[in-house]
């Protein structure tokens, strides 16, 4: 099999892979020659050196994106063909890409393979996504003041889209921004998280080999503190699509100026378990929702709201299910729990757990770590005065909060500053729909935990969880502008 990735890095004198970035169709280093190190969180191995870009490098990237791609060079049909070819190449090199995801993120290889598969599926669905671009015909006869007229409503590209992606799904989330942006005819500047930049570099190479025109996609790497503002504030960038922490996302609108902004931020997903629920199903699903990818998901179950009279039975089942989640070498296909991303993340998770225990919660399992492997943890007796009841955890921890009835569960869930996801377990479908409408989250899942997959259903947050929606067809809405042409029929 051809090594298509050899052009994106070279060995330095110490035998370490030194990566380049993609600007104006060329894989290049930056003028300063500065790099930062990327480590494997599972074993501390240095796996790459990546360009540490400066604000001046951002300006160079924007100038390349401004030159753009002529429509005749990248017409809609070719965009679809490129995405189909990219899917083929990605699947052909899937194991190589999954391995680099695991090496830089510490997630189990089984989850990385799933991420590759989901990205390939997203590429497969581009034809469905592109249908949004067909436009719309509006007859005027339905309204008095538009009689004798009709309108054609078109969707046009915004221009330059900055796609800023996080560490937890470094391939799929970046791809889910880049694919619809390119389909819509935009040029893209993509910045990956500094902990996990390699996956995006690999994906950019795949798109390049698939035939994406020179300059359609630029990749810039570096610390958010150094180049984040240079990207966000640049007046030539027309849209910001950001997935990451609420603390960073809240600052973007005030700095960006008049741009289209899409934000997918933090979450505090509740799992409400009512007394008529299938407790075995609830325990199985909730452990998956809390522990998968070490809880490093914005839609991870972050608190369990359980009716008092069934709590003891439910916890027995929950503990039994939690025993299945074993920590191990992320490259072992049997491993369910890998690492958290870095020491800062681990220390924050542990501080939340210790705060809860200090205030009276009991650790039924876990509450400990070795290196960056944090044990799956279940805390009982969690109350609202504990930080872990209110703050996003982003780790494999399930806090259990006892409630008297569903009304109390809804009140507690809605009291959060977040509003991304929640779920509930009950056999009463009428009650489930009533509760689902009362919950103030962007998505509510009944008898399963949140899991957005390739984005067939739209998803996104309310309150401090973000702005806008993502998903097949819905992402196109965020990355285009409407253009209305009105025709007087008798003119």
Q: Compute the distance between CA of residue 388 and CA of residue 400 in angstroms, rounded to an integer.
A: 10
Tell me the three state secondary structure of residue 268: coil
Alpha helices in 132-210 (DSSP H): 172-183, 198-210
Element holding 231 (H helix, E strand):
helix 224-232
Residue (of 434, 171, 169, 406) closest to 300 by Cα position: 169
Tokens of 187: 């040029």
Name which of 278, 329, 301, 274 is nearest 397 in CA terms.
301
Burial class, 303, CB count within 10 angstroms (exposed 0-12 / middle 13-18 / buried 19+) = buried
444: tokens are 């509510």
Cα dihedral value 358, 465, 338, 389, nearest 10: 20
**167, 200 contact by CB (below 8 A):** no
- DSSP letters for 49-114: EEE---HHHHHHHHHHHHH---TTTS-HHHHHHHHHHHHHHHHHTHHHHHHHHHHHH---HHHHHH
Buried b (16+ CB within 10 A) or exposed e, 63-76: ebbeebbeeeebee
Closest CA to 293 of 173, 473, 147, 438: 173
Write b or e for each residue in 26-49: b if 16 or more Cβ atoms lie within 10 A of its Cβ, otherwise e.
ebebbeeeebbebbbbbeeeeebb
298 is an active site residue: yes
Give yes or no: 29 in active site: no
Q: Which of 104, 115, 264, 375 is catalytic?
A: 264
Which one is catalytic: 53, 298, 321, 478? 298
Q: What is the set of active-site residues?
A: 264, 298
């Amino acid at each position: 099999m051809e090594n298509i990735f050899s052009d994106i890095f070279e060995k330095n004198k110490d035998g370490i892979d030194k990566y380049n970035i993609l600007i104006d169709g060329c894989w290049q280093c930056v003028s300063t020659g500065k790099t930062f190190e990327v480590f494997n969180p599972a074993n501390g191995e240095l796996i790459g050196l990546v360009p540490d870009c400066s604000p001046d490098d951002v300006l160079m990237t924007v100038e390349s994106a401004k030159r753009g791609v002529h429509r005749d060079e990248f017409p809609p049909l070719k965009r679809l063909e490129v995405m189909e070819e990219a899917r083929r190449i990605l699947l052909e090199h899937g194991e190589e890409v999954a391995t680099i995801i695991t090496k830089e993120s510490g997630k189990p290889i089984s989850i990385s393979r799933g991420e590759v598969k989901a990205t390939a599926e997203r590429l497969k669905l581009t034809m469905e996504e592109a249908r949004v671009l067909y436009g719309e015909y509006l007859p005027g006869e339905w309204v008095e003041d538009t009689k004798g007229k009709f309108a054609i409503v078109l969707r046009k590209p915004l221009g330059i889209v900055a796609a800023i992606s996080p560490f937890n799904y470094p391939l799929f989330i970046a791809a889910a921004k880049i694919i619809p942006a390119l389909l819509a005819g935009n040029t893209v500047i993509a910045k990956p998280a500094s902990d996990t930049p390699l996956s995006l570099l690999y994906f950019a190479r795949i798109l390049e080999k698939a035939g994406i025109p020179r300059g359609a996609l630029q990749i810039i790497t570096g610390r958010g503190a150094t180049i984040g503002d240079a990207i966000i504030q640049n007046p030539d960038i027309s849209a910001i699509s950001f997935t990451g922490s609420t603390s960073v996302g809240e600052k973007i609108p005030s700095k960006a100026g008049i741009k289209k902004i899409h934000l997918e931020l933090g979450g505090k997903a509740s799992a409400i378990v009512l007394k008529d629920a299938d407790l075995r199903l609830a325990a199985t699903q909730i452990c998956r929702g809390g522990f998968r990818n070490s809880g490093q998901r914005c839609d991870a179950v972050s608190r369990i709201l359980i009716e008092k009279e069934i709590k003891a039975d439910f916890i027995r089942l929950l503990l039994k299910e939690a025993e299945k989640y074993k920590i191990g070498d992320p490259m072992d296909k049997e491993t369910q729990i890998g690492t958290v991303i870095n020491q800062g993340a681990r220390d924050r998770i542990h501080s939340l757990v210790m705060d809860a225990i200090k205030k009276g919660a009991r650790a039924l399992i876990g509450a400990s770590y070795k290196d960056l492997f944090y044990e799956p943890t279940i805390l009982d007796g969690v109350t609202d005065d504990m930080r872990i009841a209110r703050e996003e955890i982003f780790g494999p921890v399930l806090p259990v909060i006892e409630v008297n009835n569903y009304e109390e569960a809804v009140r507690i869930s809605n009291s959060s500053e977040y509003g991304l996801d929640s779920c509930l377990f009950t056999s009463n479908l009428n009650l489930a729909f009533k509760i689902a409408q009362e919950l103030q989250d962007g998505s509510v899942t009944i008898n399963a935990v949140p899991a957005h997959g390739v984005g067939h259903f739209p998803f996104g947050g309310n309150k401090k969880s973000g702005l806008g929606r993502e998903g097949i067809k819905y992402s196109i809405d965020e990355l285009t502008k409407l253009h209305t042409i009105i025709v007087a029929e008798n003119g």
